[in-house]
Each structure stands twice: as structure tokens, then as C-alpha cells.
Amino acid sequence: MKKIRWNLAITVLLLAVTTIISFCFFHFGNKYTANITVLYTLALILIALKTSGYIYGIIASIFCVFAVNYFFSYPYFRLNFTLDGYPVTFALITGAVTTSLKQQQQAISEREKQLAEADKEKLRANLLRAVSHDLRTPLTSIIGSADSYLENREELSETECTELVSNIREDSEWLLNMVENLLTVTRINSSSADKVKKPA
């Protein structure tokens, strides 16, 4: 609702300002309708850039055609659609410009989303590689110490057995600590993503 009000306010404000400027330009300067048309075209472009959705550009285009016809074309303050060319041409040009700008904006927005998603995937892959490496190191050490203990238990002294078991315990604790840290980071990221998704 807030977005709709904002879009309407921008559309009305730009059309009102353009109409006032056009009156000043038309009555105190050159009474050439083409110059007024250029002003309204500029207003339409700004409306297309500042609002979301096609409806505001379409409404503004219709208003501009009627405004140029009613206020700035002879006979003044009367609608006269028997004039050749400009109302249709004006509507077509401004409609095409508005549509083109919207399509470009959507294409840019889509491209930005794709790039952001690609960066996210790349970061995920790099993180997974780093985590895999960090997990593999203590696991390899634990497996090696366990194998040494099981295969050479008869030949090892009490001190050597204790040292192997201590190494296994230390690496296991380090591994457990790392997994807990990863789970904490995952929970924080999940919580942050949920907050971003919630509407204001």
C-alpha cells in the first residue's frame, strides 16, 4: 500500500510540475506544441524510472495526450482529436519509451540477481572446500592414531598408548569444536535470512 501511494504521488507530482512548466513556457515563450510534447515525454521517462509497474506509465501517457490536446493545441481548452498525427504518435512514442525502460530495468535487475546468486554459489563452494580440508586433517590424524593403536597395541608401551589415545581425544575435541562453530554460523545466517524475508 505504501509503495502504491509513493508511485501515485511521484506520478501526480511529476505531471503537475510538467503541466505548470508547460503553461509558463507556452504562454510566456514559444507557442510551439512540439516543445510541450518534449517536456511531457521527459516527465513520462522520469515516471517510468521512478515508479514500479506499467500502469503508472500508461496512465501518465493518456494524461499527457489529453493535456497537450486540451491545453496546448488550438482550439485551446477544447479536445480536438481531428488533429493529424501528434496524439497517436505521441502516445505510441511515450508508450514505447516507457515499456522499453521497464524492460531494461527488469533485465538489469534479473542480471544483478543472477550475479548475486553466482557469487553466493562460488562462496558456498569455496567454504565447502575449506571446511572439507579442515575436517579431513583431524579425521586423518584420528584414523592414523587409532590404526597405530589397534595394529601395534602389543608392541607399544603404556606411555605410547596413552599418547595415542590423548591425540585421538585432542583431535576429536578440536573436530567437535569446529562442527559446533559451523552449526552456530549456520543458525545465525538462517536467522538473518528469515529476518530479511519478513515484511516490514
Give the whole-angstrom CA distance, residue 164 versus residue 148.
8
What is the chain's mean pLDDT, rounded?
79
Q: Which residues contact 178 (CB under 8 A, 6 or more apart)?
A: 134, 135, 138
- Rounded Cα distance between 196 and 15, Å, is 35
Q: Which residue has the cell 502516445?
A: 91
pLDDT of residue 152: 83
- pLDDT, tens only, 96-149: 666 677 778 778 888 999 998 888 888 888 877 877 777 788 888 888 888 888
Phi, psi of 199 (to 5 degrees): -70, 150
pLDDT at 17: 93
0.75 surpassed by pTM = no
Q: What is the pLDDT of residue 200?
A: 47
